[in-house]
Structure 1
Amino acid sequence: MATLDESLASFLKSHAPNNASSETDAVKASQALFPAISYTDAEKTEISQWLITSTHLASTAEDAAKSAERLSTLNTHLSSRTTLLGAKPSVADIAVYQKLSPVVSKWSPDERTGEQGYHHIVRHLDFVQNSPVFALKLEDKVDVDLDNVIFKIKPIDAKAEKERKKKEKEAAAAAATASGATPSTLTADQAPESKKGKAKAKDKVQAAGEAVASAVTGNAGGGPPEGAPTKKKEKKEKQPKPPKAAPVEKPLSPSLIDLRVGHILKATTHPNADSLFVSTIACGDPPGTDNTSEYEGQIVRTVCSGLNGLIPLEEMQNRKIIAVCNLKPVTMRGVKSCAMVLAASPRVAEGEDNHKGPVELVNPPADSKAGDRVFFEGWEGEPEGVLNPKKKIWESVQPGFTTTDDLEVGFDVEAVPQLSGEGSDKKTGVGKLKTAAGICTVSTLKGATVR
């Protein structure tokens, strides 16, 4: 788990209640700040991740494009959330406030609420500094003018939208009933004889009922004379549904890959493929997650990996690995594989066999736990739920996965032309693969490819 840096600890000591600054762990600090709130294991991991991300948000060591990308990602994340976790407050919200408040205070009105402005970041910052939920004791707050909004973003109320659609369906059903429509797509002439007979009988009953009603009331209401054709109700014009907002497409980044620490509980040979192992791996998924099952009280994924003959089966037992968790599941010789195990192998020339080995599994830090988020330094962000195979995200960024001379795993931006750029704007450097507990490594392979 992430620890509080000195500046955040000092900020909490001066401005936060409940003596949270005495805690160095992000989750424990959150629990001290908000004792009535309980956090799931996934939320605890997210708190740690956001604490790490917050340290980069206002970094002066990064170029403007990278800073803008981080802010844009944060703004998009907050567009449908009150807090970073959705609704639950945590120390991560205060960390983001502490790092960004000096920056936001210098933003122009256009940067704050212009068409390309960071509306949701400003809203979140104002909520943290004023809400009794956080109860921060601040003498100097960021001046936020709620009336000075240059470009208004129409919020979507999910509950109201659901209610509106429900009323539309009810109105359409009532209009269909009033106009004599039936749920069937058949016309009266096309309907089977049995259905025609039922319809005629229904019409007779309805006509008889109307005749009785007319006799009882004596036609006192001044309605049409007996036997006159009844006037159909006017069918309400169906209002067109508003177009769905196009989903916001995240820019290409290795952060779109859902990398996590996995714990192999057992591994066996594939019953129908000599080159495959079948592993049962805990990846920190909550109960009910798609493509998971339960094994020895833990939520697990079944994973096929082409490592048979490259890594001894005994080395696959009861060990920690790094898993790619948002690839689309594939069935391999009758066994559904729901993740991928990261491994390093030497780079080979085009045309050579890239499966001949040697192969080494990527090792997470010793203190890591199953489900811990794994990310490349400098490329933090929210992963996609499931990668769209048509967009080739994995295929685009994987060439940058490498090992260094120090046997650390990293992302070499120069190996991905879409991200590295050209000329004076060309990006360089290798971002290390790490968890909150440290850096991921391999045993002996230097300059290897990782996949």
Structure 2
Amino acid sequence: MATASAPMTSLLSLLYRSFPRAVPSTSIDLDLQKVSPQIFPSYVYSDVEQGELEQWLVTIATATESFAKEDSAAISEFLTKLNKHLASRTTLLGSKPSVVDIAVYAVLGPVVEKWSADERTGENGYHHIVRYIDFVQNAPLFALKIPSEEKIAIDVNDVKVVPKAAEPPKEEKGKQKKEKKKATGQGGEKNLVVGRGKNVNEAETATTAAPDGGEPVATGAVQPSAREKKEKKAKQPKQQKQPAAPAAPLSPSLIDLRVGHILRAVNHPNADSLYVSTINCGDAPGTDNTSVDEETGLTVRTVCSGLNGLVPLEEMQGRKIVAVCNLKPVTMRGIKSAAMVLAASPKSDDAHAGPVELVTPPADAQAGERVTFEGWSTGEPEKVLNPKKKVWETFQPGFTTTEGLEVAFDSSQVPQLAEKEGEASTAAAAAAPAVGKLITKSGGLCTVKSLKGAVVR
């Protein structure tokens, strides 16, 4: 279906500006069904989802005509349907982005901008549409290139009336009820046992002569004897318990430190103290918690960092950093952060007022190159650090900077390394220097600008 069904000027302009590779400026008559996989190549759309998108394109085309004709009844019906649909979904497909979401934004953006506070989030307001419009224009998931002055001004904290929680669809309710009845033994078919009387033992042994004088015929349900049960149970082989995997030696090498390349950084749309950075950490395509950068085609991570106001935004652009890549991802004011940027600050900075300096690897270090401390490079980092084990919290107090401005690990600041928790960890601690410098796999030192004896985190 061509974009003629949606506002051509605003939609095409947005697509040209945001996705120049997938939608070149020479494109005039686009088939939106085919554009989604091009602008969101890391997502696969099933036949069912393609059908849903086609239906929404028809609905949007009809709604566009209704807005043009100022048909209030049809407009109200469309908005109510869309608001209800989005009550339990982040995007039209649930969580996957599509070009149809951008088409809805192009249609409804100017409309939502003119709504009053009550129309937005009042008792009968379209809360979910307002949240959705704000998400589409700001989320890295869509990566729309919209200048701040052109964005719809939405205060996500300005909610007049909190909407009720969305009810699950009727078919889902019915399914839940059936499962509940099945679990409690109610409402299902009763299991009937033919020939069983009040006295089970009698039923098991009762017999009657066959009409032709042959072998007796059992009239009750014959149960297996205790001996048969015992023999059957004895025949089943016992499952051998697998020995527990040996614990990895206690070492800062459990932390996945890598060279990262910040492609770009922007202010977080919902938090004044945060930046949102797009960082190449050398991940393979398809790695968990990564996406494909539209401009470069690289596999990247989205990272939120509390550096706004401490590090100038221009210093966050196109530079190399050291990233902690195996902390459990966290959602920070609506945006999922999949790593942490390592930075230094004075030990006396309890109020987090700065100054703050980013840890800098050698200029020729490659994105994704592993970074370890001297004497602590053996062993592989865990895939994801278990928050309950507090590995990061255990070793981070030893992260510091030297008089020569090198980043280093001071093992004397980690009491657990002095405890004898096993021969492997004890041997590792004995072989390591008291202060090991942070170096890349290729041998380059990681440094800071001017902070000596600093805290690094």
Question: With structure 2 as the length reference, what TM-score do the two structures score?
Answer: 0.48
Question: With structure 1 as the length reference, what TM-score do the two structures score?
Answer: 0.48
**Higher relative contact order (Cα pairs below 8 Å, separated by 6+ residues):** 1
